[in-house]
């Protein structure tokens, strides 16, 4: 009998430990240090473990889609607002509004997803290039910048697509004239964000049209000879959505994770990576909402036209 009681006690202890060590699976697009810091801080606060899959936005979405028959992810953080729109339209997101989303601007939250933070798209130029400092998007069509400009490919970069969509929404004729001028000025489109930035860091090119600003700001802080310009005629935010997958078997824990990301502590970790916090009441370590001229456009309407928009851009660029 004593052996039975002892075994039962051990079993109950193990069961209690297993319950205490609940685990959620989070698929997160970069930056990797931020994803890791959020997971570690959440684990320390709640005791809930985080199994993190960290990769590019495209790769986490591809993995999620490949696992449809046996879903693994509980929470997803993407660098593409379009991914949230797509999953929401398909009915694959759990409706949830965090108590900590009160100070998130209305344009950066819905009933099923909310921004973790956002970047703004900018001009980033190498101050050692000998080029004049650009101030406006159209400056890069001038002869002095010929064969010196790179741009991330909107077909491979969600943020570049957001910039393209925003400029087209602001003034379609003017936007396509701008991109035609950039094409005539031999702008190159080598790939996603890193592929566009590296030639400028290395001095092979001088300036990036549509740089993700938090990446450039972070590199400048580490000593790179970069300057970042947010054109006064307007730029766009590229929000980073956080969302709970409807198939999750850990709803409460997933909701707690979203709450933590939007808490003071979570948003401070976001700010520390030079990303614009989703909450407007959290101090940013870079130009904030009131420092930027932002293009206000309908993200969902733009997403519905994304294939057409990317095709026209590719045609103008001769791709």
User: For residues 163 and 140, what is the distance between their CA atoms, to the nearest angstrom?
Assistant: 15
What does pTM read for this prediction?
0.87
Q: Which domains does the chain have, with CATH numbers?
A: 2-118+238-286 (3.40.190.10), 120-236+299-316 (3.40.190.10)
How open is the CA angle 155-158-163, to the nearest 5 degrees? 95
Residue 307 phi/psi, 5-degree rounding, is -60, -45
Conformation bin of residue 32: beta by default, left when phi > 0, alpha when psi is -120 to 50: alpha
Partners of residue 208 on adjacent β-strands: 124, 150
Q: What is the pLDDT of residue 297?
A: 94
DSSP-derived letter for residue 235 is B
User: For residues 85 and 30, what is the distance between their CA atoms, to the nearest angstrom?
Assistant: 19
Q: What is the pLDDT of residue 20?
A: 54
What is the length of the chain?
A: 319
Q: What is the pLDDT of residue 314?
A: 96
User: For residues 83 and 89, what is the distance between their CA atoms, to the nearest angstrom?
Assistant: 10
Alpha-carbon distances of 116 from 30, 104, 224, rounded to whole Å? 12, 9, 27
Q: What is the pLDDT of residue 58?
A: 86
3-state secondary structure (DSSP) of residue 211: strand
Q: What are the E-state strand segments in the chain?
A: 23-29, 49-55, 75-77, 113-126, 149-150, 207-212, 226-229, 237-244, 276-277
* Whether the Cβ atoms of residue 104 and residue 289 lie closer than 8 Å to each other: no
Q: What is the pLDDT of residue 9?
A: 45
Residue 205: count of CB within 10 angstroms of its CB:
24
> Could you tell me the mean pLDDT of each successive run of 10 residues in the chain, 319 residues long?
46 45 92 95 98 91 93 95 94 98 96 97 97 98 98 92 96 98 97 95 97 96 97 96 97 98 98 97 94 94 94 93
């Amino acid at each position: 009998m004593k052996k039975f009681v002892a075994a039962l006690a051990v079993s109950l202890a193990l069961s209690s430990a297993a319950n205490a060590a609940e685990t959620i699976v989070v698929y997160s697009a970069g930056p990797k240090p931020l994803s890791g810091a959020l997971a570690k801080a959440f684990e320390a606060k709640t005791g809930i473990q985080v199994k993190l899959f960290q990769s590019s936005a495209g790769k986490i979405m591809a993995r999620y889609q490949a696992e449809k028959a046996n879903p693994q992810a509980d929470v997803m953080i993407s660098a593409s607002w379009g991914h949230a729109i797509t999953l929401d339209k398909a009915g694959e997101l759990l409706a949830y509004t965090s108590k900590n989303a009160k100070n998130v601007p209305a344009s950066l939250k819905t009933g099923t997803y909310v921004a973790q933070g956002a970047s703004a798209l900018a001009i980033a130029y190498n101050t050692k290039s000998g080029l004049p400092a650009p101030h406006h998007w159209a400056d890069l069509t001038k002869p002095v910048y010929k064969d010196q400009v790179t741009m991330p490919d909107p077909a491979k970069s969600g943020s570049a697509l957001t910039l393209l969509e925003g400029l087209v929404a602001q003034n379609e004729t003017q936007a396509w004239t701008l991109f035609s001028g950039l094409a005539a000025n031999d702008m190159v489109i080598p790939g996603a964000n890193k592929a566009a930035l590296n030639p400028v860091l290395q001095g092979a090119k001088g300036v990036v049209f549509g740089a993700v600003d938090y990446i450039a700001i972070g590199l400048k802080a580490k000593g790179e000879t970069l300057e970042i310009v947010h054109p006064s005629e307007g730029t766009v935010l590229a929000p980073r959505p956080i969302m709970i997958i409807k198939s999750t078997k850990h709803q409460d824990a997933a909701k707690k994770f979203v709450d933590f990301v939007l808490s003071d502590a979570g948003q401070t970790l976001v700010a520390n990576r030079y990303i614009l916090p989703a909450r407007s009441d959290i101090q940013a370590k870079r130009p904030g909402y009131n420092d930027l001229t932002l293009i206000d456009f309908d993200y969902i309407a733009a997403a519905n036209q994304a294939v057409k928009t990317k095709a026209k851009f590719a045609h103008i660029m001769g791709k």
